[in-house]
Amino acid sequence: MIKCIFTLDYEIYGNGTGSLNDLVYEPTERLLQVFDKWEARFVNFVEVSEFEQIEHSGTDAAIELVKRQVKDMHRRGYEIALHLHPQWYNARFAQGHWELDYTEYNLCTLPQPRIAEIVDRSVNYLGQMVDDRQFGPISFRAGNWLFQPTENAARELSRRGLRIDSSVFKGGLQRNHQLDYRPARKNGYYWTFSSDVNVPDSKGEWLELPIYTEMVAPWKMATSKRMGMGTSPASVKSSVQKKTPVSLRTKLNRAFDFLRPGYPLKFDFCRMTLAELTSMMERVILQDRQDPDSLKPIVSIGHSKDLNDLETIDAFLSFLHQKKIPVVTFENIFANVAEVIQST
């Protein structure tokens, strides 16, 4: 029983550059047209801290369009979920660009009172964006996928009603940020957890629905589509590196992360070709035939700033329709998954 969940990271570039209209509003309008055509819904991971800062500083008039879009999506059954890059909260706008506070890059490593403050502020602002008093997000994705060490951040997020995380990508490793999702490779398609997102805990109140990955040889990462994306986070990172010297240790860590026999290729509906998307799903379908009764939520990721090939997304939704694979949101399957957990 396969269910496919599309998730969109809704944000400008990670270094604070780019316009809301070009990287958020317009591309998402085009994606909504495709999903409306197939009567499908996706999960919108709204990176709230940048929107709050941009609104308060008045640096981009398109913030009004973005707020209207989020509110409209909520009304139409798209799931509005919380995504957080905390480096925005102490950001300053000076000489035409944003200076972000990289000492607050990982929510999980901040002092507990600061985590609590950031969680409250972000959930409150998201509530204002959707303009619905009843609303509270249930799903979370950490900035740069950093949900380690998990315990303190999970506690504060659950205090505000969040229950589902989708930050893990199995096999993930970033030595510079102490991110290590290699232990999660032995877990199932989803699991409950409490104080460590890598470790299943049958009594945990959190549910992990990881971004689907396949381990591939590093050279397979370099398809012409991924390499041709001028808007890739990798190209932004390299432009940032030119301004700030990067230590040899940092560079070596990145090289060691990449030089592994197997590298986790994320199921990315913006960066993969149609042939890659369908063949990855065909392999899941083969696994499902061995065990058709168990639920297999397959989470795909995309970024609003990478939405420049809508034809592929349209064709992939057509493929899922032909294969009778439902496209759902986390909210849609939450009750279902809770039942499955209780029965195991």
Interface residue with Zn ion among 5, 8, 9, 328 (CB under 5 A) is 9
Verify binding: residue 214, Zn ion, rule CB under 5 A: no
Q: Closer to Zn ion at the Cβ: 181 or 189? A: 181
Residue nearest to Zn ion (CB): 9
Q: Which of residues 104-123 bind Zn ion (CB under 5 A)?
A: none
Instruction: Tell me how crowded residue 136 is: count the other CB atoms within 10 A of its CB.
Output: 15
Cα→Cα distances 55→13, 159, 289, 294, Å: 17, 26, 49, 45
Contact 286, 179 (CB under 8 A): no
Strand partners, 192: 207
Q: Closer to Zn ion at the Cβ: 15 or 187? A: 15
Q: Which stretch binds Zn ion (CB under 5 A): 8-16, 93-101, 149-157, 308-316?
A: 8-16
Q: Closer to Zn ion at the Cβ: 12 or 274? A: 12
Q: Which stretch binds Zn ion (CB under 5 A): 7-15, 61-69, 123-131, 267-275?
A: 7-15
| Coil, helix or strand at residue 50 | helix
Q: Which stretch binds Zn ion (CB under 5 A): 3-11, 93-101, 151-159, 235-243?
A: 3-11
CA triple 212-341-143, angle to 5 deg: 40
Spatial distance between the Cα atoms of 222 and 232, rounded to a whole number of angstroms? 13
| Coil, helix or strand at residue 158 | helix
Q: Which of residues 10-69 bind Zn ion (CB under 5 A)?
A: 11
Nearest to 206 by CA among 251, 246, 157: 157
Q: Which stretch binds Zn ion (CB under 5 A): 2-10, 130-138, 185-193, 216-224?
A: 2-10
Q: Which residue has the tokens 């998307």?
A: 277
Give the E-state strand segments of 27-113 in sequence order.
43-47, 79-84, 92-94, 97-99
Q: Closer to Zn ion at the Cβ: 11 or 276? A: 11
- Tell the smallest beta-carbon distance from residue 239 to Zn ion (Å): 17
Q: What are phi and psi of 138, to 5 degrees?
A: -110, -15
Q: Closer to Zn ion at the Cβ: 107 or 313? A: 107
- Tell the smallest beta-carbon distance from residue 84 to Zn ion (Å): 8
Residues that bind Zn ion (CB under 5 A): 9, 11
